[in-house]
Amino acid sequence: MSTKAPLRIAHASDIHLDTDYFGGEENLPSRDYCRGVFGNLLECIKAQAPQLLMLPGDLFDSNRASLETILWAMEALAALPFTVVMIPGNHDCLEPRGIFLEHDFARLPNVDMLLSPQGESRDFPELQAFVWGKGMEDHCPEYRPLEGLPDPRADRWNLAMGHGIYVGNEGNRYRSSPVEKSQIANSGYDYIALGHHHALLNVSQNGTAAFYCGAPIPISKESQGTFLTVQLQEGQAPDVTIHNLD
């Protein structure tokens, strides 16, 4: 029986770069505010010294983000001293001429993009980690973020990402991009990083830790932006820590 070394993960989502930025000098404060939030988020994450950062969607607010911001974000991610795994969200989905189809984030030496609409995985032997996710082409009821999740591997930390709304047991006949309770409960995975819901939410089931990490921009004046770190260690439940952002 193999022994896995401890693994420390950071989970952040829904950054929405270029929110309300449509070009022009008058909109530069909005652009720079979003960049500042992301830059602060990355500095706070680096301070936690993760080995892996999971970004489950909506790095950009739309596929109309400016070229300058796209290149700025690529440079910021490439400068991180750890591996980053990403999927698109509903705001930066794989529509024709979408950001992640036009710009190859996977060429960054520390970044892996999971783009296949059917789902795809990456194996990181140095971390003993197996990571699965899928690309979103359209935010609709037919898109199922966790459908097709492969069986877990005994010799790896099994991690997955999904971007959609948690529907619990209510079914998914009308919700776009539904995440079901049974999919989490039956996965056998160690951790599932979810995006789309901007508030912190614990949807763990049957020994699988599954969380929405919130977003770096607060959803109200009374709240703070958040991200998560997750410590995985054999024989122990995942240790999930909430980090508030100024």
- Asked whether residue 130 is assigned to any structural domain, the reply reads yes
- Asked whether residue 85 is assigned to any structural domain, the reply reads yes
**What pLDDT is stored for residue 53 in this prediction?**
98
What digits encode the pLDDT tens for the residues 127-175? 999 999 999 999 998 899 999 999 999 999 999 999 999 998 876 668 8
Predicted TM-score of the model (pTM): 0.95
Count of the separate structural domains present in the chain: 1
Which domain CATH number covers 27? 3.60.21.10
**What pLDDT is stored for residue 24 in this prediction?**
74
Instruction: Report whether pLDDT(39) > 80.
Output: yes
- Asked whether residue 30 is assigned to any structural domain, the reply reads yes
Between 144 and 1, the more confident residue is 144
Phi then psi dihedrals of residue 62, to 5 deg: -165, 170
What integer is the mean pLDDT of 201-229? Answer: 93
- Asked whether residue 61 is assigned to any structural domain, the reply reads yes
**What pLDDT is stored for residue 173 in this prediction?**
65
Q: Which domain holds residue 46?
A: 7-245
Q: What is the mean pLDDT of the chain?
A: 94
- Asked whether residue 60 is assigned to any structural domain, the reply reads yes
**What pLDDT is stored for residue 115 in this prediction?**
97
Give percent of the chain above pLDDT 70. Answer: 98
- Asked whether residue 176 is assigned to any structural domain, the reply reads yes
- Asked whether residue 131 is assigned to any structural domain, the reply reads yes
